[in-house]
Amino acid sequence: MRIQANKMKEMLQLYFIMGTQNTNSVPLEVLEQAISGGITMFQFREKGRGSLSDLAKEELARNLMKLCKIHSVPFIVNDDVDLALAIDANGVHVGQDDEKADQVRRKIGDKILGVSAHTMDEVRKAIEYGADYLGIGPIFPTESKEDAKPPNGGALIKEIRKAGISIPIVGIGGITAENAAAVMETGADGISLISAISHAKNPEKAALDLKLSLLSNNRRKSHS
């Protein structure tokens, strides 16, 4: 059975994304600290210059997933359906230049499927193809992704919600503890981050600060 939207929204609250190319530290240690800080989902994104491949990539994925399982943190694989199936990950995330979402859905069955979208047309297609959530961004300028588009994510999230589309959405791109609340105000259900945690001197504190920023925003909403 596919994941329910309300459960998906809970998972997206603080979504950490990382591969070896995103940190100078030991990935397992960074993830462990991020989990201690309160992340709600993790995506293994081993992509770009200097990234691992084949057995080394799979071994790291298995070790990271083992850590996530211990702490009940959902583990998503970026753009590698075969790896996700081989290690029985919780799901897969694909971008517009990756394998088509409808093909991925057929392969992964009821596992979680996340899709990056940058236009309303891409949003509608992703939903039609079986996405459980959308990654929308960049919200702010970012250097974490070499192929990042101009920051227009906030406006797109507002447009999606204005159109009455209720699919779970996570915002990505240049998000920090200082601007996290602004992302949620657009209609996002959560924030996803790479460097704000992976490059932090103290990843646990970085994750916790982000978590507190979200909690503070939730309190403001409930009192307004």
Q: Mind listing the pLDDT tens digit for each residue in 149-190?
A: 788 999 999 999 999 999 999 999 999 999 999 999 999 999
| Contact between residue 140 and residue 169 where contact means Cβ atoms under 8 Å apart | no
| Contact between residue 76 and residue 104 where contact means Cβ atoms under 8 Å apart | no
Annotated binding-site residue? 98: yes
Domain ranges of the chain: 5-223
Catalytic residue among 145, 192, 198, 213: 145
- Interior/surface letters 160-181, b for 16+ CB within 10 angstroms, e for the rest: beeeebebbbbbbbbbbbeebb
Q: Let me know if 116 is a catalytic residue.
A: yes
Q: Let me know if 49 is a catalytic residue.
A: no
Q: Mind listing the pLDDT tens digit for each residue in 79-120?
A: 999 999 999 999 999 999 999 999 999 999 999 999 999 999
Annotated binding-site residue? 17: no
pLDDT at 197 over 90: yes
> Hey, which CATH number is domain 5-223, 3.30.300.30, 3.30.420.40, 3.20.20.70, 1.20.1510.10?
3.20.20.70
Catalytic residue among 57, 116, 211, 213: 116
Q: Let me know if 25 is a catalytic residue.
A: no
Catalytic residue among 45, 57, 105, 211: 45
Annotated binding-site residue? 44: yes
Average pLDDT over residues 67-89: 99
Annotated binding-site residue? 79: yes
Annotated binding-site residue? 221: no
